[in-house]
Structure 1
Amino acid sequence: MTDQEPTTVSPVSLTAEDRSDQPPVTPELEDLYRGFEKALLVPLWTRIGDLMPEHPRSRARPHLWEWKTLLDLGARAGDLVPVGRGGERRAIALANPGLGGRPYATPTLWAAIQYLMPGENAPEHRHTQNAFRFVVEGEGVWTVVERDPVPMRRGDFLPQAGMNWHAHHNAADEPMAWIDGLDIPFQYDIEGQFFDFGRDGLTEEEHGTPDRSRSERLWRHPGLVPVSDIGTREGTPLLRYRWEDTDAALTDQLELEREGHPGTVEPGHALVRYTNPTSGGDVLPTVRAQFHRVRSGAETAPRRETGSSVYQVFDGSGRVTVGEVSWSVQRGDLFVVPSWLSLSIRSEASPSDSDSGALDLFQFSDAPVLTKLNLFRTHVSHVEEKHA
């Protein structure tokens, strides 16, 4: 074992300040602070406001990415950037303006547009990061998870737990784009991630285009679990949550409300959560995914949550307010809600811009991480709730 090399310049820098909450400034205090710097020590009394604020103060900022811009840039990348090794699947990440240019939508969540040209294959790989795909428009691509081809169509949500081999192929004559969501920032910052390259090509069977994947044939039967594969899993074994099921559930909630029965989370606001059929919990260990439908003319109550969320407008138009920032939104637009900033949504949708006549939004968040650490909090209409 060799001795540690001496540090020539300490990264710790302390300044004695003449403030009521700080010790009196004296030559002895200044000398003490130089000793702290040399020994790589930081006294809590100089940083408590930064380290232990009264409530979350996120470095991330509210931000909106317009779908038309993302789609245009994705198409241009499709002409210029290969999809294979070196092109990294042509995934283009959202970079929150408050996070120093890192490819992070929030401090814990990654969101990206992925663009696949006709006939292209995205090569196989796997990683510990939990991931999903959500399709706002188009069809013709199959994601292949553990050699199981899974169709991807408008409105489909396709989760995939960590360390599953996966690739994609476009069997259509048109390009297709979708969004990817992963917990890359979380795993990177806690230094727990692993990654493996897989095969460069797919077999003839994997190039198939079945309407139902093998995972759907086993697991897409509400309330029915295959005894041959029973057992709780951290990540859902169902690889595709079809739009027709999500749409029907949201429609039924609003119809029950119109009939005077309970079912919505607040007036005009239907909400469903994608769940793991083996446990009833979140679909992925680190990611919660939900879908909102806000009736035209309705407005959600301002709501704050610990942790962060990314939303994509699936259909319709409206006005979104995050903290003190407001935007008009339409199909495909993505926006970020940082920790403990209030969110309210007003639906301005109509049959001319929405199949449902309502404002539909897909949401994913880091709530499972906060929940496991007993840190998930919500505040709605000045009533604070703590959820397990």
Structure 2
Amino acid sequence: MTSSIASDTVTGSPVRLQAVSAADQPEVTPALEELYRGFEQELLVPLWTEIGDLMPAHPRSRAVPHLWRWERLRALAAQAGEIVPVGRGGERRAIALANPSLGGRPFATPTLWAAIQYLMPGEDAPEHRHTQHAFRFVVEGEGVWTVVGRDPVAMRRGDFLPQAGWNMHAHHNATAEPMAWIDGLDIPFQYTSEAQFFEFGRDEISDAERITPERSRAERLWGHPGLRPVSAAPGSTGPGSPLLAYRWEHTDRALADQLALEAEGFAGTVGPGHAAVRFSDPATGADVLPTVRAEMHRVARGAETVPVKETGSSVYQVFDGSGTVTVGEKTWSVTRGDLFVVPSWQPFSVRSEAGATDSDSGALDLFRFSDSPIFEALRLDRTEVEGTTR
């Protein structure tokens, strides 16, 4: 009876151990085989059989470099707009990027979600909230307002719109044209760490929230460079930025000024011909979201960035221009709207081939979001530039 139970337990165990003849492994003997069967029965795994996978010499991401073409994404989203309703159940007409090595899950990387969202004319995406931190980034079009905490916020090309977790939000399209944008969230991170919550809000927003103001209340209070409202006490804004929209006109000007300063012989760029800005919380100076970093990069025509490896993963979208991107062993030519993934500790570099015919700025503009705040908070951040690690 004991033998039968043990046999059934071993058969049903998810642990499978195989004795192998190798320099760093114990000698294969009947005693070792018996020991491994005992481990399987009690759901035990010895470190000496797993250390190569559990403790590699450097990060080995489960994600792989991959590119999604905006033209194809946009066409499929428009097709979905004609046949898939927006409402309770589906909640959003959002179509997530699925990294080809993550088992078909709707995850761009093990920690980051990226999706194209599409809203038809006159449509509303119903109100809800979730603990996942989120943002919207607009590569083309306008006419949709996102309503966060009953504050209508305009969405236009080049705008970055962060929204910290557990804020009620909805969207409405006030125009006669459909609109698409990308959503970024930390869904995979919260899914893996089993920390997520979700709650439905109202089925419909009020008439007062359907207004289309030029500036949201959040912008009127927080959207003044270098100025913090005295009425906002330290710590009163909660996690994430209280500014709900970072407008393209300001981002564009900052990037142009950096390259102009470089041309005049002054410091300001992160590398030759490479300007970059990071979106920050005006209340604290920290990242706009606790788990997500967002940046905009501008690479002048003909400039090439040096290969960089970082712990943690990133998703990029080409905002404007064209160029050649290399991630690990993959190299692609990219144009406006294309999205690609840079997994953890994969070398990344870009060469700008943009000009006046395909870019408003004459340069290659890249929007980037990453999980860097998580790695920095855990002191697991590491960067390698041309063989120098920091």
| TM-score, normalised relative to structure 2 | 0.97
Opposite residue 53 of structure 1, the aligned amino acid is: P
Q: Name the structure 2 match of 1:106.
A: 109
1:70 to 70, 73, 76: 73
User: Cα deviations across residues 298-345 of structure 1 (Å, max 9, x unaligned)?
Assistant: 000000000000000000000000001000000000000000000000
1:250 and 2:262 are equivalent in the alignment:
no
Aligned equivalents of 1:168 and 1:7: distance in 2?
Answer: 53
Q: Name the structure 2 match of 1:198.
A: 201
Q: Name the structure 2 match of 1:305.
A: 310
Unaligned residue ranges in structure 1 (runs of 5+): none
Q: Name the structure 1 match of 2:332.
A: 327
Deviation, structure 1 residue 209 = 0.1
Q: Residue 325 of structure 2 aligns to a residue in which SS?
A: strand
User: Cα deviations across residues 41-62 of structure 1 (Å, max 9, x unaligned)?
Assistant: 0000000000000000001010
Deviation, structure 1 residue 279 = 0.9
Question: 1:230 touches 1:278 (CA, 8 Å); kept in 2?
Answer: no
Q: Residue 335 of structure 1 aligns to a residue in which SS?
A: strand
Superposed CA RMSD in Å reads 1.0
Opposite residue 339 of structure 1, the aligned amino acid is: S
Q: Residue 270 of structure 1 aligns to a residue in which SS?
A: strand
2:278 to 273, 282, 287: 273
Deviation, structure 1 residue 7 = 7.8
User: Cα deviations across residues 323-380 of structure 1 (Å, max 9, x unaligned)?
Assistant: 0100000000000000000000000000000000000000000000000000011111
Deviation, structure 1 residue 180 = 0.1
Question: 1:135 touches 1:155 (CA, 8 Å); kept in 2?
Answer: yes
Q: Residue 210 of structure 2 aligns to a residue in which SS?
A: coil
Opposite residue 375 of structure 1, the aligned amino acid is: L
Aligned equivalents of 2:190 and 2:38: distance in 1?
Answer: 35
Q: Name the structure 1 match of 2:293.
A: 288
Opposite residue 181 of structure 1, the aligned amino acid is: G
Aligned equivalents of 2:91 and 2:154: distance in 1?
Answer: 21
Q: Which runs of 4+ in 1 moved over 2 A?
A: 5-8
Q: Name the structure 2 match of 1:235.
A: 240
Deviation, structure 1 residue 222 = 1.2
Q: Name the structure 2 match of 1:383.
A: 388
Deviation, structure 1 residue 223 = 1.3
Aligned equivalents of 2:223 and 2:179: distance in 1?
Answer: 25
Q: Name the structure 2 match of 1:146.
A: 149
1:133 to 127, 133, 136: 136
1:343 and 2:348 are equivalent in the alignment:
yes
- Identity level (%): 72
Q: Name the structure 2 match of 1:210.
A: 213
Question: 2:10 touches 2:37 (CA, 8 Å); kept in 1?
Answer: no
1:368 to 362, 367, 373: 373
Q: Residue 208 of structure 2 aligns to a residue in which SS?
A: coil
Number of residue pairs matched by the alignment: 381
Question: 1:307 touches 1:370 (CA, 8 Å); kept in 2?
Answer: yes
Opposite residue 290 of structure 1, the aligned amino acid is: E
Question: 2:327 touches 2:346 (CA, 8 Å); kept in 1?
Answer: yes
Question: 2:321 touches 2:353 (CA, 8 Å); kept in 1?
Answer: yes
Q: Residue 339 of structure 1 aligns to a residue in which SS?
A: coil
Q: Name the structure 1 match of 2:319.
A: 314
Aligned equivalents of 1:98 and 1:249: distance in 2?
Answer: 37
1:225 and 2:228 are equivalent in the alignment:
yes
Question: 2:9 touches 2:41 (CA, 8 Å); kept in 1?
Answer: no
Aligned equivalents of 2:257 and 2:172: distance in 1?
Answer: 35
Q: Residue 169 of structure 1 aligns to a residue in which SS?
A: strand
2:13 to 1, 4, 10: 10
Aligned equivalents of 2:367 and 2:187: distance in 1?
Answer: 20
Question: 2:240 touches 2:281 (CA, 8 Å); kept in 1?
Answer: yes
Q: Residue 205 of structure 1 aligns to a residue in which SS?
A: helix
1:93 and 2:96 are equivalent in the alignment:
yes
Q: Residue 213 of structure 2 aligns to a residue in which SS?
A: coil
Opposite residue 283 of structure 1, the aligned amino acid is: V
Aligned equivalents of 2:11 and 2:218: distance in 1?
Answer: 58
Aligned equivalents of 2:121 and 2:234: distance in 1?
Answer: 39
Aligned equivalents of 2:28 and 2:201: distance in 1?
Answer: 61
Unaligned residue ranges in structure 2 (runs of 5+): 1-7
Deviation, structure 1 residue 276 = 0.5
Aligned equivalents of 1:188 and 1:279: distance in 2?
Answer: 27
- Higher mean Cα deviation, 360-369 or 87-96? 87-96
Aligned equivalents of 1:129 and 1:353: distance in 2?
Answer: 35
Question: 2:115 touches 2:183 (CA, 8 Å); kept in 1?
Answer: yes
Q: Residue 185 of structure 1 aligns to a residue in which SS?
A: helix
Aligned equivalents of 1:114 and 1:308: distance in 2?
Answer: 22
Aligned equivalents of 1:138 and 1:231: distance in 2?
Answer: 36
- Higher mean Cα deviation, 222-231 or 372-381? 222-231
| TM-score, normalised relative to structure 1 | 0.97
1:83 and 2:106 are equivalent in the alignment:
no
Opposite residue 311 of structure 2, the aligned amino acid is: T
Question: 2:320 touches 2:360 (CA, 8 Å); kept in 1?
Answer: yes
Q: Name the structure 2 match of 1:173.
A: 176
